[in-house]
Structure 1
């Protein structure tokens, strides 16, 4: 099987896990585990897993200058990304959160243009503004009286921060991951991330009532730690090592489809006109941003 095909399969699996994660994580937060405490569980669990697996991987020395780059990528890809996402998800609904996340490919294009010096054409600029209009529409007017969303506007805004942070992370790691084994890279990524999230999370972590937590909630926490954290980050890193950041970001389009289907089946969310309209606007903006330019032939 071709390397590109394997990379696409890996990113597709990661996208599916992210899609169902919206509802699974929402079932845990904020009643059983508060958002920041959940992030500490994720990052600590992943750090332990990857450093343990690193014992079976050939050791590889990290260049001194790359430690700073990995720490910088960890702040946006682990700390700010996860903290804003889980806090936002605890305040909004799974479908709204997954729709806002679709803005991430647009942010990837913007950061790619500034950091990797790739050219942006007028159609893509138009797509950026259209996509942002859709996101703002959902953030500002996506409010409802549903019990599942205590503060939808703030929640959607925090998910937007998450999408922006994750977009920057995808561009930042592109030039580093080629140099190192994925396990070597990701164990350092999570170790730095653990130090970043610890000050924000330790207080909420101490509030967790482990004795009263049902078995199914334990299983859902385990799913988020093992699959949403370890598997997806590893698969996406492999995808980024073989594909362009903009290509990997395109798979985020599938997240609202998966998240909506799973949320509707499980009864944790519902559709309304604002969600449908905002989704259509965002997808049109993303289409303009990512549409391939046909090369003319002589």
Structure 2
């Protein structure tokens, strides 16, 4: 199997994991654990895991001084802002809404790639950008009209998607130079430190004994699959495919997220969401052409 094929298979795996995560995270949040507690737990465990992995596997922690600033921004956008916006947003909105708002990732990658990587700008891409944005606005207006918390949640998930899109673009130079485990360790260490003020001011001690087994299993999925495996493989595939190609797989997330959410009865696909999803995904497809 060549590396390009391997990269696309891994992207499919990551897309499935992420699609499930929207509903699974809602099984534990915010009823049993608030977003701030989940963020603190997953950051701390992920940092500890990769520090032990690097030591046991005899990998290197070394990063050249010239890459410190880029690494800092990867930690800021890829972990701190990404995690806070995503879980605070998901705790307020519905799984299908959140997955649709993630379409902002490839759009962000397109804009940044056009500015910094000199990717070609065409009228088709610009039209797609407008259509995708229109779909997001439709969904936001629908959310605002139904429930204020849902609207705020959608906005936070959009900010998360923009943050992660920035991360994908600025991280590739590092991942082409260093081991994936090394990058994940440092960005999570930086992200954990930067998120300390948020975690400290929002952290609450939950009633651990009141948390059912289903919620514990959901938390385990979030940590092992949606964090440790997700970040490691997401960076690893950037060695073989561009951020633009990687972000295209976001198209598939709403389909998986909707199927899982409907199966577990945690969300419903109404006409407004359906029409918004058509506009968002069609627009993002045009942007990627």
TM range, smaller chain: over 0.9
Q: How much does 1:126 deviate?
A: 1.3
Deviations 1:242-291 (CA, angstroms, capped at 9, x unpaired): 10111000111111011000000001000111101110111111121112
Partner of 2:245: 247
Kindly tell me the number of residue pairs found equivalent between the two proteins: 288
What TM-score do the two structures reach when normalised by structure 1?
0.93
Deviates more, 1:155-164 or 1:200-209: 200-209
Deviations 1:71-125 (CA, angstroms, capped at 9, x unpaired): 1011111111110011111111001110111221111100111122222112111
Deviations 1:146-175 (CA, angstroms, capped at 9, x unpaired): xxx771111111111011111111001011
Partner of 1:161: 159
Q: For the residues of structure 2 that align with 1:73 and 1:6, how far apart are their CA atoms?
A: 25
The change in CA–CA distance for 1:10 and 1:229 in structure 2 (over 3 A counts) is: same
Q: Secondary structure at the match of 1:31?
A: coil
Q: For the residues of structure 2 that align with 1:67 and 1:208, how far apart are their CA atoms?
A: 36
In the alignment, structure 1 residue 134 sits paired with structure 2 residue 132: no
Partner of 2:221: 223
Deviations 1:203-231 (CA, angstroms, capped at 9, x unpaired): 44333221221122111111101110010
Partner of 2:107: 106
Partner of 2:51: 51
Q: For the residues of structure 2 that align with 1:24 and 1:89, how far apart are their CA atoms?
A: 11
Unaligned runs of 5+ in 1: 292-298
Q: How much does 1:10 deviate?
A: 1.3
Partner of 2:280: 282
1:1-298 correspondence to structure 2 within 5 Å: 1-55=1-55, 56-59=57-60, 61-143=62-144, 151-291=149-289
The change in CA–CA distance for 1:206 and 1:152 in structure 2 (over 3 A counts) is: closer
Deviations 1:31-80 (CA, angstroms, capped at 9, x unpaired): 11111221111111111111110111332521012122111011111111
Q: Secondary structure at the match of 1:109?
A: helix
Unaligned runs of 5+ in 2: none
The change in CA–CA distance for 1:47 and 1:60 in structure 2 (over 3 A counts) is: closer
Q: For the residues of structure 2 that align with 1:217 and 1:60, how far apart are their CA atoms?
A: 34
Structure 1 residue runs of 4 or more that deviate by more than 4 Å after TM superposition: none
Say what the alpha-carbon RMSD is for the aligned residues.
1.4
What TM-score do the two structures reach when normalised by structure 2?
0.96
Aligned residues of 1:142 and 1:275 also touching (Cα < 8 A): no
Aligned residues of 2:54 and 2:61 also touching (Cα < 8 A): no
Q: For the residues of structure 1 that align with 2:145 and 2:220, how far apart are their CA atoms?
A: 31
Q: For the residues of structure 1 that align with 2:27 and 2:84, how far apart are their CA atoms?
A: 17
